[in-house]
């Protein structure tokens, strides 16, 4: 893996005139608009980047974008990779390794998730303060490269506490409803049954989604501080569960997105 990372980083450095990002950003389903705030310097298509997995979802555009956001140099993944697409955990998290090797000191992640907490409504935001990995596989399984991180990485604070506090202050100042809570990752691609939503709530989840946790585990392995936020696009409340509609989820993400973009871009400015 070390060799693959090296090869990819060399290609990217050459194509971006050695642009050195400070912050890495992974944008979730229907949440690519933050890119509109970036003063883009370079944009690379995933299929052109050596060793990069290619996003298979047509609503993910699959670009690695380099530029400036509120005065900070960023690299943003527009289009993330999901376990359900058939990639290995190592493939999904490869871009995080690459962004770290390019020099980032923070990782920001967004996703669309289903609410499990009856107080968290569709269209609200939730800053992730902890997670439960129900994908039941770690991206760190297998050989550990000690140069990247320890065999048994600590996970007592996977999401940076100061960034959480600052994000909640920004949200309050902007009058944006923003909760904090526990994200449960599942493999998908099928949605949950009523019994599963009930179970996920009982075990301590506030939101459920099909991403984020692998990237967060790898970031923690490399001691990279993480900030993650969910846009709650549907309500997994067993008593009133409606049939799932992708159009509805994307529409909710589209409407809620400006709130999230405001918080992320102001938070980045504080770093």
- The size of the interface with ligand HPA (CB under 6 A), counted in residues, is 14
For residues 209 and 112, is the Cβ–Cβ distance under 8 A? Answer: yes
Pairing mode, strands 226-235 and 125-133: antiparallel
Quick check: 27 binds ligand HPA (CB under 6 A)?
Answer: no
**Residue 9 or residue 184: which is nearer to ligand HPA going by CB?**
184
**Residue 130 or residue 196: which is nearer to ligand HPA going by CB?**
196
Quick check: 181 binds ligand HPA (CB under 6 A)?
Answer: no
**Residue 115 or residue 160: which is nearer to ligand HPA going by CB?**
115
Residue in the block written with tokens 């997995």: 53
For residues 77 and 115, is the Cβ–Cβ distance under 8 A? Answer: no
Quick check: 30 binds ligand HPA (CB under 6 A)?
Answer: no
Token pair for 20: 């050195």
**Residue 180 or residue 212: which is nearer to ligand HPA going by CB?**
212
The CA R_g of the chain, rounded to the nearest whole Å, is 18
Quick check: 135 binds ligand HPA (CB under 6 A)?
Answer: no
**Residue 11 or residue 84: which is nearer to ligand HPA going by CB?**
84
Q: Is residue 57 packed enough to be buried (19+ CB in 10 Å), middle (13-18) or exposed (0-12)?
A: middle
CA-CA distance, 89 to 218, in Å (whole number)?
10
Residues 239-258 that bind ligand HPA (CB under 6 A): 249
Angle between helices 161-174 and 246-269 (to 10 degrees): 100
190-219 footprint of ligand HPA as x/- string (CB under 6 A): -xx---------------xxx---------
CA-CA distance, 57 to 225, in Å (whole number)?
28
- Output the smallest distance, CB 50 to ligand HPA, in A: 31
Q: Which helix (H) or strand (E) holds 68?
A: strand 63-69
CA-CA distance, 129 to 120, in Å (whole number)?
15
- Output the smallest distance, CB 38 to ligand HPA, in A: 25
CA-CA distance, 220 to 8, in Å (whole number)?
21
Quick check: 117 binds ligand HPA (CB under 6 A)?
Answer: no
Of 66-74, 86-94, 111-119, 135-143, the window that binds ligand HPA (rule: CB under 6 A) is 111-119
- Output the smallest distance, CB 188 to ligand HPA, in A: 6
Quick check: 113 binds ligand HPA (CB under 6 A)?
Answer: yes
CA-CA distance, 167 to 145, in Å (whole number)?
33
Quick check: 110 binds ligand HPA (CB under 6 A)?
Answer: no
CA-CA distance, 193 to 58, in Å (whole number)?
26
Of 39-47, 91-99, 107-115, 129-137, the window that binds ligand HPA (rule: CB under 6 A) is 107-115
Quick check: 231 binds ligand HPA (CB under 6 A)?
Answer: no
Q: Which residues of the chain form contacts with ligand HPA (CB under 6 A)?
A: 112-114, 186, 188, 191-192, 208-210, 233-234, 236, 249
């Amino acid at each position: 893996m070390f060799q693959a990372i090296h090869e990819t980083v060399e290609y990217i450095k050459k194509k971006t005139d050695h642009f050195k990002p400070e912050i890495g950003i992974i944008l979730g389903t229907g949440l690519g608009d933050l890119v509109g705030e970036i003063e883009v310097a370079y944009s690379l298509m995933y299929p052109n980047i050596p060793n990069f997995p290619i996003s298979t979802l047509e609503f993910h555009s699959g670009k690695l974008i380099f530029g400036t956001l509120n005065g900070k140099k960023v690299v943003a993944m527009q289009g993330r990779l999901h376990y359900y697409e058939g990639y290995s955990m190592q493939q999904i998290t490869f871009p995080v390794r690459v962004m770290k090797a390019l020099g980032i000191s923070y990782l920001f992640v967004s996703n669309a998730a289903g609410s499990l907490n009856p107080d968290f409504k569709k269209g609200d935001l939730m800053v992730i303060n902890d997670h439960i990995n129900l994908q039941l596989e770690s991206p760190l399984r297998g050989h550990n490269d000690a140069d990247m991180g320890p065999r048994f990485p600590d996970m007592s604070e996977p999401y940076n506490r100061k960034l959480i506090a600052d994000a909640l202050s920004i949200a309050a100042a902007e009058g944006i409803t923003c909760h904090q809570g526990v994200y449960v990752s599942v493999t998908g691609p099928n949605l949950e049954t009523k019994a599963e939503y009930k179970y996920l709530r009982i075990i301590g989840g506030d939101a459920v989604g099909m991403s984020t946790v692998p990237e967060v585990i790898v970031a923690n392995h490399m001691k990279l501080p993480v900030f993650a936020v969910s846009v709650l696009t549907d309500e997994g409340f067993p008593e009133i569960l409606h049939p799932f509609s992708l159009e509805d989820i994307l529409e909710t993400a589209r409407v809620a997105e400006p709130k999230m973009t405001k918080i992320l871009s102001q938070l980045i400015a504080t770093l």
